[in-house]
Structure 1
């Protein structure tokens, strides 16, 4: 910070960043008189979620939705990264054990997919172990299955919008995660409704 009388600290932010951001954030709450719901757009410098500003902000939020450029570049919409997105509601006693376990499996698979990206980008998949290749293949299917044909985009895409229930969505991921659909190409999962359309 270049503010007079304040010394910069981590990455140029003032040392009081946490306190200054926490003060208004903690006032956003529910009371007997009413509640305030806050939806915040947070700029993430260089897409680095560990930067002090977004990290400090997200500590006060009940849920975060991270739209990475990479997914949008692949044409996957909605471009939301489940491995970086969070919700305090994603607890087994709130959403149920089955939903929770499936969501955790999806997040873990996508996280393991991110780790060998440098190897995949330069030498290619052949340099990965058999287990890593399976993880990459399943993660790519998960990414594509997460795409959604929107009703509002029918005119632009020419594809009809589709509604998929939560139960069907969970069932689809439960089939992809253990490898029941390893025989299908990743493109079969792109912009489908429920898993039976793959």
Structure 2
């Protein structure tokens, strides 16, 4: 590792794209009189690691109820193609930028050039470009380059955080090794910077290395089945989970509602797959009906898709989300038509 390497930091790098050495690759104006600092690594940071405990509200029902996030946590978005992971990423960024005035740092490694990557396209088309810095390299087997790319992004993120800015670090690489994930985990614990990792999957939509999952505080599993049914966001509410749901950070009521929803949905899918619904007893029919409403209520219009869907985006506070799903479990909405639950924010009686 080249410890003598220095990188540009500060507001001057926002809206720019750099390689792993901190050199601009976006053909924009030359950086002059910019602050430069040594490359940051977990060893250089040398800070006491801490466990993230402060809840991070996203306004997205599936995440806030079933896989709650924490400031300074490491979140995995486990998804293949065509399931909307970039849209969910953009929605999370939009909320953080709006509510917390956050800065976004992206570390990307793809087969394409940076300006052909889906994340760069997302940034360019949004109104977020002047709040984001991207570090990008085309995919390589050189482990040193991979780590240097990550450490360059860490350097920029740390400088903003140390100057009082809320920072979101996003890692999008087609190849993520155990060593890289260990660095990500250690860095997040030391810096307190929230980190999103787009976890690569294979043809069976499984992570290329399941050992990577152990480094995640929360796992957002995306579902091909939900995407095929146009149930957006296509985050699987059963498979997705968070360490916070078994900690004192999340109130007991939240844990109970999340567990009740998970069990009801599991039973709902079992009953829905039965060939003969006429054989269901009264209790099973009730579970099937409530489960269908819960399943649909996880859909939600996003702010970042308003221009395409012409449906206003919705943001639900965590307390509203918990209350709504508790009422669904308790049968408050048993008589309400099913269409009232699809692509809505709050339930309107």
Q: TM-score, normalised by structure 1?
A: 0.74
Q: Is contact 2:296-2:342 (8 Å) kept?
A: yes
Q: Is contact 1:22-1:60 (8 Å) kept?
A: no
Structure 2 counterpart SS, 1:90: helix
Larger radius of gyration: 2
- Over 3 Å counting, the alpha-carbon distance change for 1:154 and 1:76 in structure 2 is same
- Over 3 Å counting, the alpha-carbon distance change for 1:152 and 1:130 in structure 2 is same
- Determine which of 231, 246, 267 is the counterpart of 1:76: 231
What runs of 5+ residues in structure 1 fail to find an aligned partner? 1-20
- Determine which of 182, 187, 202 is the counterpart of 1:26: 182
Aligned: 1:101 with 2:101: no
What runs of 5+ residues in structure 2 fail to find an aligned partner? 1-176
Aligned: 1:167 with 2:322: no
Greater RCO structure (CA 8 Å; 6+ sep): 2
Q: Is contact 1:63-1:88 (8 Å) kept?
A: yes
Per the alignment, residue 40 of structure 2 pairs with: none
- Over 3 Å counting, the alpha-carbon distance change for 1:173 and 1:35 in structure 2 is closer
Q: Is contact 2:217-2:243 (8 Å) kept?
A: yes
Q: TM-score, normalised by structure 2?
A: 0.44
The offset of 1:189, in angstroms, is 0.5
Q: Give the distance between the partners of 1:96 and 1:61, measured in 2 at CA.
A: 21
Q: Give the distance between the partners of 1:160 and 1:99, measured in 2 at CA.
A: 27
Q: How many residue pairs get matched?
A: 172
Q: Give the distance between the partners of 2:340 and 2:228, measured in 1 at CA.
A: 19
* Residues 7-50 of structure 1: per-residue CA shift (max 9 Å, x gap): xxxxxxxxxxxxxx655533431489647846132315434x5x
The offset of 1:56, in angstroms, is 3.1
Per the alignment, residue 91 of structure 1 pairs with: 246
Larger strand share, 1 or 2? 2
Q: Give the distance between the partners of 2:189 and 2:260, measured in 1 at CA.
A: 38
- Over 3 Å counting, the alpha-carbon distance change for 1:113 and 1:55 in structure 2 is farther
What is the aligned-residue RMSD (CA, Å)?
Answer: 2.7
Q: Give the distance between the partners of 1:102 and 1:78, measured in 2 at CA.
A: 20
Q: Is contact 2:218-2:243 (8 Å) kept?
A: yes
The offset of 1:182, in angstroms, is 0.9
Aligned: 1:142 with 2:298: no
